[in-house]
Amino acid sequence: MRIVVLAGGIGGARFLRGLKQAVPDADITVIGNTADDIHLFGLKVCPDLDTVMYTLGGGINEEQGWGRTDETFHLKEELAAYGVGPEWFGLGDRDFATHIVRTQMLSAGYPLSAVTEALCDRWKPGVRLLPMSDDRVETHVAVTLPHSGSAAGSGERKAIHFQEYWVRLRASVPAEAVVPVGAEQAKPAPGVLEAIAEADVVLFPPSNPVVSVGTILAVPGIREAIADAGVPVVGLSPIVGDAPVRGMADKVLAAVGVESTAAAVAEHYGSGLLDGWLVDTVDAGSVERVEAAGIRCRAVPLMMTDVDAAAQMAREALALAEEVRG
Amino acid sequence: MRIVVLAGGIGGARFLRGLKQAVPDADITVIGNTADDIHLFGLKVCPDLDTVMYTLGGGINEEQGWGRTDETFHLKEELAAYGVGPEWFGLGDRDFATHIVRTQMLSAGYPLSAVTEALCDRWKPGVRLLPMSDDRVETHVAVTLPHSGSAAGSGERKAIHFQEYWVRLRASVPAEAVVPVGAEQAKPAPGVLEAIAEADVVLFPPSNPVVSVGTILAVPGIREAIADAGVPVVGLSPIVGDAPVRGMADKVLAAVGVESTAAAVAEHYGSGLLDGWLVDTVDAGSVERVEAAGIRCRAVPLMMTDVDAAAQMAREALALAEEVRG
């Protein structure tokens, strides 16, 4: 079975670990979000690709869900001592090696897809990990930052990098707009469209529908390839009980005018793209609404408390795909 | 008193620490060797500048004489796990920060002299540290590397980076030639010629006369400025009892046809440049030969066993300078 998964960071990575356990013999291609990539200290950092690679390769910090296990932060301490920022992005000493190797290879002229393959030669994630694009796409978030000491409501409107919104500001102000800068000009990375065309099923893990799966779909050609593939496309809701399981999906959904409910996210993807949708059991009441939108829907437990739980979710998604296939 | 010191790495740095203790109120400008700089992992590494900066700024690993105190090597471990070399150059996690900041500033267009000043803003070495040049100069060493399994004497002649000769090969094969590539086209960094012109005394610490002080002197204009300054120029022998105190001065002296003796090094600099020369007490027998070459010479203890010993050496050098001044 050939499975294509569109993945963001932590949620995507943990779902993939469950998927591998559920169907160990499947041929899995992961199309990873690169729109939250950021240049820091002259280095190219790809948080989502790395989270997938470290999680599936056994190097992830399990507690926080990102970054390396057995990590130290001496380099970061020194950068701070030099007064060189940003200080709000937590790069550990081991993690830095990945960014140094990546940056060196990119500087030598290799595209990100080739670099990612080289990094995976070490981590052996057990999936084929492709960046959505070798071209630069960068999610910017429009926010209004209050002037210090000024009345609420007044402030400076500006566009900031998604990582600044999420990591530095911790999504503490509303996202007024979310723009994947460069997406329109981006081309799918080599292998992306081919993998979709050859897939038996396409899965959307419980990743952020706007800044993770949404940016992947914003690369021209990818949404169309999925819609045209003629195979079941099944997603898992990242919203459980009207709140995101983790992250700031509610904030960025509001920016695109979508309510933070499992049903609304399914409708946002739409029946033109999505064939099946899993909501959590607490959202069983929304199954009817989703099905009314032309998307087959089931309510199952969607909390990835451990690998077994994630594996069970993967089995439910694949079962729904078979049901769709009919 | 304005003192200009031409410095290499460990020997130069330790001498400077003694000099600062001996004359705490002196205005000291250090012209640092940059010909052993190397690009590693896409980063610009300046071993001699950093050794001076760390030593005078209190961050040096005292035992080994280079690198940072309280250091870890997790990043390097990870690079090795990625199969990315070279593995023979020991960059620690804290040390990496310096190279990342430097590389980022250089990429932004700042010359090395401005970058060095910015790094020293943190370390406050108590001297003005100038690279000899903002231009790239790189010492290459011609060696014959034996073919594996072949008879001694046969082999491949090639030019390798000085760091590869010294750190990887540990100077285990003869240096057949030593060439500061790029030196002829290099210009002294801003402030170098001015500092020399305004100096009251110029000192050559017990640094390597070929690959440290020699490469600084190879930058067109520096040797001439020192010779023309009209102030005492006093050096300290890095050779004690016919062997280098540390490093591979004997190997590179052989490459330029100079014997490894305190007297021969003085003659190599020559009376056109050098006014005074300190040899170790074990080399007292060579004082007469040095003076016969027109260079005033004294035999004093030259082992920098601690800061006090280095300070005493600095006082002896300054005393000899005053004697020369007459």
pLDDT tens figures, B85-103: 899 998 999 999 999 999 9
Closest CA to A50 of A29, A39, A27, A34: A34
DSSP 3-state of B75 = helix
d(CA A160, CA B168): 45
- What is the pLDDT averaged over residues A236-240? 96
pLDDT band at B230 (very low <50, low <70, confident <90, very high): very high
Stretch among A74-78, A295-299, B146-150 having the lowest mean pLDDT: B146-150
The CATH code for residues B1-326 is: 3.40.50.10680
* Predicted confidence band of residue A288 (pLDDT cuts 50, 70, 90): very high
Residue B267: pLDDT above 80? Answer: yes
pLDDT bin (cut points 50, 70, 90) of residue A248 is confident
Environment class of B152 (CB within 10 Å of its CB; exposed 0-12, middle 13-18, buried 19+)? exposed
Position B149 scores a pLDDT of 63
Has B48 been labeled as part of a binding site? no
Average pLDDT over chain B, rounded to whole? 95
d(CA B139, CA B178): 7
| Residue B152 predicted with pLDDT over 70 | no
Average the pLDDT over B69-81 and give the result. Answer: 97
For residue A117, list chain B residues with Cβ-Cβ distance below 8 A: none
- Band of the pLDDT at B278, cuts 50, 70, 90? very high
What is the structure's pLDDT at A151?
60
The complex scores an ipTM of 0.92
A101–B81 CB contact, under 8 Å: no
pLDDT at B48: 97
Does the CB of B78 have a partner CB in chain A at under 8 Å?
Answer: yes
**Mean pLDDT, residues B106-131:** 98
Q: Is B91 on the interface with A (CB under 8 A)?
A: no
**Mean pLDDT computed over every residue of chain A:** 95
Whether the CB of A227 is below 8 Å from some CB of chain B: the reply is: no
Closest Cβ–Cβ partner in A41, A72, A121 for B104: A41
The SS3 assignment for B36 reads coil
Instruction: Answer whether residue A269 shows pLDDT above 90.
Output: yes
pLDDT interval class at A146 (50, 70, 90)? confident
Q: Which of residues 9-48 of A touch B (CB under 8 A)?
A: 41-43
User: Which of the 8 DSSP states describes residue A183?
Assistant: G
Once rounded to an integer, what is the mean pLDDT over residues B161-171?
Answer: 93
Q: Which residues of chain A does B79 touch, with a Cβ-Cβ cutoff of 8 Å?
A: 97, 100-101
**Contact assessment for residue A56 and residue A13, using Cβ atoms and an 8 Å cutoff:** yes
Residue type, A187: K
Taking residues A262-275, report their average pLDDT: 97
For domain A37-131, which architecture applies?
Orthogonal Bundle (1.10)
> Does any CB of chain B come closer than 8 Å to the CB of residue A122?
yes
Query: How far apart are the CA of B80 and the nearest CA of chain A, in angstroms?
Result: 9
User: Does B177 contact A at CB distance below 8 Å?
Assistant: no
Q: For B104-128, what is the mean pLDDT?
A: 98
pLDDT band at B155; cut points 50, 70, 90: confident
Q: Which amino acid is at B99?
A: H
CA distance B82 to chain A (A): 6
**With 90 as the cut, is the pLDDT of residue A81 above it?**
yes
Q: CB-based contact (8 Å) between A135 and chain B?
A: no
pLDDT-derived band of residue B154, with 50, 70 and 90 as boundaries?
Answer: confident
- For chain A, how many helices (H) and strands (E)? 13, 14
Residue B82 to residue A43, Cβ atoms within 8 A? no
CATH topology classification for A185-325: Rossmann fold (3.40.50)
Residue B238: cis peptide before it, omega within 30 degrees of 0: no
Nearest by CB: A74 against B43, B94, B101: B94
What is the model's pLDDT at position B147? 77
Token reading at A168: 């530095």
Mean per-residue pLDDT for B47-65? 97
Q: For chain B, what are the domain ranges?
A: 1-326
* Mean predicted confidence (pLDDT) in B13-19: 98
Closest CA to B278 of B243, B238, B246, B309: B238
Percentage of chain B lying above the pLDDT 70 cut: 98
Q: Is the pLDDT of residue B151 over 70?
A: no
Please judge whether B75 and A77 are an interchain contact, meaning their C-beta atoms are less than 8 angstroms apart: no
Compute CA A145 distance to the chain's CA centroid, rounded to the nearest angstrom: 26
Contact B97 A78 (CB under 8 A): yes
Give the span between the Cα atoms of B66 and A133, in whole angstroms: 43
Provide the pLDDT for residue B103: 98
Neighbours of B155 (CB within 10 A): 15
| H or E segment and range at residue A138 | strand A138-145
pLDDT, residue A149, reads: 63
B258 pLDDT more than 70: yes
Q: Compare CB distances from B94 to A75, A83, A94 and report the shortest one's residue.
A: A75
Contact A42, A19 (CB under 8 A): no
The residue whose two tokens read 């010993």 is: B309
Select the residue of A83, A97, A104 nearest B75 (Cβ to Cβ): A97
Q: Is A321 an interface residue toward B (CB < 8 Å)?
A: no
> B292 CB near a chain A CB, below 8 Å?
no
Check whether A153 has a pLDDT greater than 80: no
